[in-house]
Chains A and B, each alone.
Chain A
Amino acid sequence: MSQAAIETAPNSAPTPGDYILEVEDVRKEFPGVLALDRVQFRLRRGSVHALMGENGAGKSTLMKIVAGIYTPDTGNFRLRGEEIRLTSPLDALERGIAMIHQELNLMSPMTVAENIWIRREPKNRFGFIDHSEMHRKTAALFRRLNIDIDPDVKVRTLSVANRQMVEIAKAVSYESDVLIMDEPTSALTEREVDHLFTIIRSLKAEGKGIIYITHKMNELFEIADEVSVFRDGKYIATKSSSEVKRDDIIRMMVGREITQMFPKETVPIGDVVLSVKGLSLKGIFEDVSFDVRAGEILGIAGLVGSGRSNIAETIFGVTPATAGSIELFGKTVAIDSPARAMRRGMAFLTEDRKETGCFLLLDIQENTQIAVLQSGYVKNGFVRQRELSRDSVEMSNALRVKTPDMSEPIINLSGGNQQKVLISRWLLTKPKILILDEPTRGIDVGAKAEIHRLISKLAGQGVAVIMISSEMPEVLGMSDRIMVVHEGRVTGFLNRDEANQVKIMELASH
């Protein structure tokens, strides 16, 4: 794009191909997880650069570093050929790097114009905010971007698509040269996506560099000039989107040896214990049907946001279904609360340990015992603490929770140990159907293998297991059958012997 030449930014040291942003040797470690391992990335002026990779590949982490949200352990950054070190998101913004987040960060009770110019409001000569000037500037910005939104309406009243437009306009208003979009189309209709792409093309023509994180293959070919693929925190390759094929990208994304796995033992599969028919949750997922048998592990694969976690929550009564039926042990049952699901023999390890799992203020004993108190160890309202503590300790030992004693606050444990405590919480209830949502996310290899072994053992004892996971090797190694979900619909089932990563990715993306 030749328009890049009119950029006002200083560009005394032109780099080959006129890169606006160059990132090298970036490393970032979170406790127990190496999120980025010496990755690199280069963005050309006036181009759209797609980032692809499975969940947890490191794309979002890298972008959060580029946007100044995370500080990397190591890394060199050059913006317009100049070495930079970002100190905060504000610093990044002022240097011309803006990120549009997946979860929108607008203040909904305020107007569109107020949101865009927050902290930079035009003032009149008395030092008060000049609302007519603000309106004028917003209208001009919207005209430039071809956005049709009244600057004076409250953000609260806007659709998700329009909020996204406001976010984009806000980013553009900083005259940013680098715009990062993290899955911007995940909540948009087809027409809205077209509009977004029009805007992206005009930004490109203005010479801006756009980083576009996506899981959708067709978008990649429609809008991106280049694509970089990441896998397991490592940089794999950068290709021009005209020279790669869909299959090449899938192979780059998943091409990894199956390691660290503890594959499921073969155990006799029993009768159907849970049968879901036409289950729907309005606006989230539709017409989901499947059976799970005793001793079987049903894996659910799909991208984040595909509705896989919502399906689990609905089966467990956290968000009751709007249509469809659930049959347990051959009987149709209405499950409208977790308490009812538990009475029917279900247990549900949630995806988010911190939000819906741990009681961080309480100790290990209290975290372990809370669920089983619904059904046992209570006499006349009094907790039979001695018995309960004995069984809890036994369970913790069986799961090898590393802790000096049960009165340790759970917040002091590592992620893997916290997860083991939560699993013991559910195993104490002796479930017949165990739903696990990301059972090994963010935990170290050793604990992972132990949890895999445990799940396998439970299936061997006749427990029906539903396991949601973003990690392909885990799904492939553990599941007897795999159900793939895409955009709230079941796109296919794969048996253990026919499943592989490429097939799953094909079903999970478009």
Chain B
Amino acid sequence: MTTDVASPAPIIGTRRRLPPEVSILAVLIGIALVFEILGWILVGDSFLANKQRLSIIILQVSVIGIIAVGVTQVIITGGVDLSSGSIVGLVAMVAASLAQTAANPRAVYPSLTDMSPVWAIVAGLGVGLIAGSVNGVIIAKTKIPPFIATLGMMVSARGLAKWYTLGQPVALLSDEFTWFGKSFDVFGFPLPLPVIIFLLVALIFHIALGYTRYGKFTYAIGANPQAARVSGINIGSHLIKVYAVAGLLSGLAGVVTAARAASGQPGMGVAYELDAIAAAVIGGTSLSGGVGRISGTVIGTIILGVMTSGFTFLKVGAYYQEIVKGIIIVTAVVIDQYRQNRRKT
């Protein structure tokens, strides 16, 4: 018979474990190399030796990445956030409506045109923060599953995004606002601002999770909520913080989306939450909570980007791309689970 009691003999000697990101990084490099080799064989070109492409790989997933940084924290607490994509849509609408130029004869707020982009950004982040806080309060106070609470927000926020202009896109945004979606040349390498924002956000929350009380409590709640409570952690108020952060980051993603597209559309961000969850999970975050790192999520995000770019580069049809992407996500989780089970025995 088996018991869950760990073997009594302590392990002798110090084993230095490799950080868990190493294996995910290996997967990233592996996938990139496969595309490189296939590139030479099938299209006679290098996949990686192309500055433009390297920049686009990350640019196209930077919005997903910003969301994934928040979603990772939610998943570490043992929850999930399905509302990110809809918050992106709602925030894109709100931010865009406050960033229109006077040149637009049909501006949403004709008296609020040609404003400093600060207002659009503050309003966008504010809407994201409020939506996330609502998620958190509902989860903490009613104790309903996060899946349901954020599913409700997903539907309602999308509805709000459509209602805001009765389905009309918001166009003709100021140059100051769309500046946030632009690229800069750094030593001859095109570096888009959304990528910088993504990496900055990732860095901030990597530090927050690793070195602050906020981070320690986040892991503890996901690892064992009962023990966390007995250890004096106020689980409700901490969950509100985590969901608020996730909402704020979705808001930021919404602002960036509107700036990049130079417009706000109610359909923006559809299914982004699923890509963000996929990025977190590929990066080693466990859906059962307590395990996960932002560095892994960043790599997971880049893997998604490499796959999309790689398939396009190889001229693989969009349908095949989706089929293969689904398989890769599931495979990543199966491998991860296998790895974790092995660690336990």
A414 near B8: Cβ-Cβ < 8 Å? yes
Across the interface, do A356 and B226 meet the contact criterion of CB distance under 8 Å? yes
Give the dominant DSSP class at B's interface: loop
Task: Supply 14 A–B pairs (Cβ within 8 Å), ascending by A.
Answer: A32-B5, A32-B8, A70-B1, A71-B1, A318-B230, A356-B230, A357-B230, A358-B224, A359-B290, A374-B233, A378-B213, A407-B17, A413-B6, A418-B6
CB distance from B286 to the nearest CB of A (A): 8
Given the known inter-chain contacts A366-B219, A373-B213, A411-B344, please indicate yes or no for A417 contacting B10, CB distance below 8 A.
Answer: yes
In the complex, chain B residues whose CB is within 8 Å of the CB of A417: 10
Q: A348 near B228 (CB under 8 angstroms)?
A: no
What residues on B are CB-neighbors of A414 within 8 Å?
5-10
Once bound together, how far apart are the Cα atoms of A382 and B211, in whole Å?
6
A371 to B230, CA, bound (A): 9
Given contacts A71-B1, A385-B211, A404-B12, contact A370 B291 (CB under 8 A): no
Complex CA–CA separation, A486 to B291 (angstroms): 42
Residues on B with beta carbons closer than 8 Å to the beta carbon of A338: 229-232
- Flag whether A409 is at the interface (Cβ < 8 A): yes
Contacting A412 at CB < 8 Å: which of B6, B219, B231, B234? B6
Query: In the complex where A338-B232, A359-B220 touch, is A411 in contact with B6 (Cβ < 8 A)?
Result: yes
Complex: A356 Cα to B227 Cα, angstroms: 4
Is there an interface contact between A348 and B227, defined as CB atoms closer than 8 Å?
no
A336 to B233, CA, bound (A): 13
Would you call B179 an interface residue if the criterion is a C-beta within 8 Å of the partner chain's C-beta atoms? no
Interface string of A358-390 (1 = CB under 8 A from B): 111110001001110110001001110100000
- Does B185 sit at the interface, judged by CB under 8 A? no
Contacts of A339 in B (CB 8 A): 232-234
Closest chain A residue to B217, Cβ basis: A373
Chain B residues with Cβ below 8 Å from A70 are 1
Residues of A contacting B228 in the complex (Cβ-Cβ under 8 angstroms): 359, 370
Q: Is B50 an interface residue (CB 8 A)?
A: no
CA distance A362 to B216 in the complex (A): 10
Given A374-B233, A411-B344, A412-B6, A355 and B226 contact (CB-CB distance below 8 Å) = yes
Given A338-B229, A405-B14, A425-B231, 9 additional A-B pairs, CB 8 A:
A337-B234, A355-B227, A357-B227, A360-B224, A362-B220, A374-B231, A385-B211, A407-B17, A414-B5
* Shortest distance from the beta carbon of A344 to any chain B beta carbon, whole Å: 11
Residues of chain A within 8 A (CB-CB) of B290 are 359, 361-362
The size bracket of the interface on B is 35 or more
A/B pair count, beta carbons within 8 Å: 123
- Assembled-state Cα–Cα distance A382/B12 (Å): 33
* B15: A residues at CB distance < 8 A: 404
Chain B contacts with A in 1-56, Cβ cutoff 8 A: 1, 3-15, 17
Task: Look across to chain B and name the residue whose beta carbon is closest to the beta carbon of A33.
Answer: B5
Q: A216 on the interface (CB 8 Å rule)?
A: no
User: 4 closest A-B pairs (Cβ-Cβ)?
Assistant: A414-B8, A359-B223, A361-B290, A339-B232
For residue A350, which residues in chain B have a CB less than 8 angstroms away from its CB?
227, 230
Q: Are B231 and A383 in contact (CB under 8 A)?
A: no
Chain A hits for B6, CB < 8 A: 31, 411-415, 418
* Interface check A402, CB cutoff 8 A: yes
- Whether A281 sits at the interface, judged by CB under 8 Å, is no
CA distance A31 to B343 in the complex (A): 19
Q: In the complex the two chains form, what is the Cα distance from A381 to B229 in whole Å?
A: 19
Chain A contacts of B17 at CB under 8 A? 407
Check A253 for interface membership: any CB of B closer than 8 A: no
How far is the CB of B258 from the nearest CB of chain A, in Å?
31
Q: Which of B6, B9, B224, B230 counts the most A-chain CB atoms under 10 A from its CB?
A: B230
- On whether A360 and B223 interact (CB within 8 A), knowing A338-B231, A405-B14, the answer reads yes
